[in-house]
């Protein structure tokens, strides 16, 4: 992929409020996590303080990410539909599949930054306001990396959806359904959570209530790795298909 | 004659429907090639095939003497500017920002961008968001985006669509200026009036097939205009013509159809020898549209 095409793609993102939306993702996840921790009795208990924050962030991401990622992808792709951009790109030697890959490249880092920022802000809150001693570093880093992978997979999926379906309301509607699925997947059997990318938000969760007790667990790393590999293959295959599709 | 674009038996079929059928395009270098035909006649499909946006079902395309293929496509597109379907231009960006997208995408210099903007005379509007542009301004920006790479060939699909007469005239003048500057322009339209007097080569497409291809003059020659004879007594003149002549009285004149130059000379000699007075003998003035209607059998394309 040429740097010039990437530079052109970055020029297009001007006034799309991409930064504002990624900031909104970070703020919403942080705010929701802090709000849920602050109202949870577990947060004031020294042994459950970090668990409460991890449970909160594990719920905040599936609540905030799917719709915001759908909006983010839709705004990046809809400009091509509105401006005859696909044909212009093709006649400027950038195929439709390559354009989708560029959009993931320009939007992905912002989503990554928002995810990591939210994680760091919640961590900072835990260190400042919590009473649980040292944070569970391994789980925290593991969760952050896993949820980052899921966010990027969902973003990639929405870029493809927005490119394929001109009516952007469809993508946004799928984002809403994704939110519901992501939130309620934790109450479903793990096999069902594996079916859609949104279900993986529950599989990466490292703290959850079992009965009345808040338990820590390792994220489903193998499942997430499989999802990431499958998504990378799928994204490459679909964008290659776009490359060969006639205008 | 060297051709910038030539196709051999170019066809595009979708299922059993042939959208473009056995097309042999010949576009000479430096001309404005008017590609005429009603909506759905296959103009856009042909142009998309030339740009390798869609694959031909059969036939070959040569651009600048080189076959257009998946391998040559990227290189050839570097010398082809185009405006297909509707003008490009990101509404949320200003004209200048749109040109910057083009500049970065194609690695162009500031000078190339400035030249393209000057050519379409859009310099004063470049800081305005494209969503606030009029349709004419959007078309001009689209052409500037196509021109920025300083193409040898410019392919424009109905660039005057939706423009008011002033906008159409502006595009016409622009095309003439470009052709004068050595750019070969292929421009499609379903309206004859938009192409008339701008194009010096014409291709007329109907139902995916080429009805005519050649110079404007050749098109007029292909459809002979009526001979109009002004005489003091048209009834008498008509009676002097034998029944084989396709002649009828038209006001104060006699109109004779289907006569070539030799036939016209013979007929005039016959009338003069018969003692008829002929004030004037002239060919009917016909617009490209009349020729087009004649060629296509009353415009039923």
Question: Looking at domain B224-285, does it have CATH number 2.60.40?
Answer: no
What per-residue confidence (pLDDT) applies to B287? 67
Q: Where are the domains of chain B?
A: 3-221, 224-285
Q: What was the ipTM of the complex prediction?
A: 0.89
Q: Tell me which chain A residues have a C-beta less than 8 angstroms from the C-beta of B93.
A: 11-12, 14-15
Q: Tell me which chain A residues have a C-beta less than 8 angstroms from the C-beta of B80.
A: 91
Rounded mean pLDDT, A155-173: 97
CATH of region B3-221: 3.40.50.300
What per-residue confidence (pLDDT) applies to B300? 43
Q: Tell me which chain A residues have a C-beta less than 8 angstroms from the C-beta of B148.
A: none
Within 55-94 of A, beta carbons closer than 8 Å to B belong to 79, 82-85, 87-94
Q: Tell me which chain B residues have a C-beta less than 8 angstroms from the C-beta of A7.
A: 104
B92/A85 touch (CB, cutoff 8 Å), yes or no: no
Rounded to whole angstroms, how far apart are CA atoms B258 and B294? 12
**What pTM, to 2 d.p., does this model score?**
0.86
Low-confidence ranges of chain B (pLDDT < 70): 1, 243-244, 287-289, 292-301
Lowest mean pLDDT among A109-123, A171-185, B173-187: B173-187
Rounded to whole angstroms, how far apart are CA atoms A201 and A59? 8
Mean pLDDT of chain A: 94
B100/A11 touch (CB, cutoff 8 Å), yes or no: yes
Q: Which residue of A has its CA nearest to B87?
A: A84
Q: Where are the domains of chain A?
A: 3-244
Q: What is the pLDDT of residues B43-100, one digit of tens each?
A: 999 999 999 999 999 999 999 999 998 889 989 999 999 999 889 999 999 999 999 9
A92/B55 touch (CB, cutoff 8 Å), yes or no: no
What per-residue confidence (pLDDT) applies to B301? 40
What per-residue confidence (pLDDT) applies to B112? 95
What per-residue confidence (pLDDT) applies to A126? 93
């Amino acid at each position: 992929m040429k740097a010039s095409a990437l530079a052109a793609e970055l020029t297009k993102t001007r006034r799309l409020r991409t930064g504002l939306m990624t900031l909104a993702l970070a703020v919403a996840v942080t705010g929701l996590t802090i709000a849920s921790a602050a109202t949870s009795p577990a947060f004031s208990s020294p042994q459950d303080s970090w668990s409460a924050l991890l449970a909160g962030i594990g719920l905040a991401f599936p609540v905030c990410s799917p719709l915001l990622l759908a909006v983010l992808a839709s705004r990046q792709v809809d400009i091509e539909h509105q401006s005859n951009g696909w044909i212009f790109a093709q006649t400027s030697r950038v195929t439709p599949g390559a354009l989708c890959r560029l959009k993931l490249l320009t939007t992905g880092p912002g989503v990554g930054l928002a995810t990591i920022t939210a994680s760091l802000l919640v961590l900072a809150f835990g260190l400042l306001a919590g009473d649980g001693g040292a944070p569970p570093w391994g789980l925290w880093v593991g969760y952050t990396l896993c949820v980052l992978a899921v966010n990027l997979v969902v973003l990639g999926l929405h870029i493809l959806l927005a490119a394929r379906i001109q009516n952007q309301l469809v993508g946004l509607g799928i984002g809403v359904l994704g939110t519901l699925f992501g939130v309620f997947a934790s109450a479903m059997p793990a096999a069902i959570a594996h079916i859609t990318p949104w279900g993986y938000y529950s599989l990466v969760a490292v703290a959850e209530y079992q009965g009345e007790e808040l338990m820590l667990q390792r994220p489903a790393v193998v499942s997430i790795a499989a999802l990431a590999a499958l998504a990378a293959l799928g994204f490459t295959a679909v964008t290659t298909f776009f490359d060969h599709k006639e205008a | 004659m060297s051709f910038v674009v030539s196709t051999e038996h170019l066809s595009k079929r979708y299922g059993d429907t042939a959208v473009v059928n056995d097309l042999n395009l010949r576009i000479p270098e430096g001309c404005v090639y008017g590609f005429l035909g009603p909506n759905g006649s296959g103009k856009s499909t042909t142009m998309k095939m030339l740009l390798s946006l869609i694959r031909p079902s059969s036939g070959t395309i040569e651009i600048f003497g080189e076959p257009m293929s998946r391998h040559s496509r990227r290189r050839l597109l570097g010398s082809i500017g185009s405006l297909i379907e509707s003008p490009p231009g990101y509404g949320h960006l200003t004209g200048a920002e749109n040109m910057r997208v083009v500049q970065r995408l194609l690695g162009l210099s500031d000078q190339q961008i400035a030249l393209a903007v000057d050519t379409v005379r859009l310099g004063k509007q470049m800081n305005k968001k494209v969503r606030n542009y009029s349709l004419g301004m959007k078309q001009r920006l689209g052409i500037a985006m196509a021109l920025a790479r300083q193409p040898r060939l410019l392919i424009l699909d109905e660039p005057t669509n939706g423009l008011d007469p002033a906008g159409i005239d502006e595009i016409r003048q622009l095309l003439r200026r470009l052709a004068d500057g050595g750019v070969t322009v292929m421009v499609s339209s379903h309206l004859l009036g938009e192409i008339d007097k701008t194009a010096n080569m014409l291709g007329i497409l109907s139902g995916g097939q080429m009805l005519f291809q050649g110079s404007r003059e050749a098109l007029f020659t292909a459809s002979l205009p009526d001979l109009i004879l002004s005489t003091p007594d048209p009834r008498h003149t008509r009676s002097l013509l034998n029944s084989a002549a396709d002649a009828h009285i038209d006001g104060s004149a006699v109109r004779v159809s289907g006569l070539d130059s030799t036939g016209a000379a013979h007929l005039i000699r016959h009338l003069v020898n018969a003692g008829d007075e002929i004030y004037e003998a002239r060919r009917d003035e016909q617009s490209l549209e009349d020729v087009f209607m004649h060629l296509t059998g009353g415009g039923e394309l």
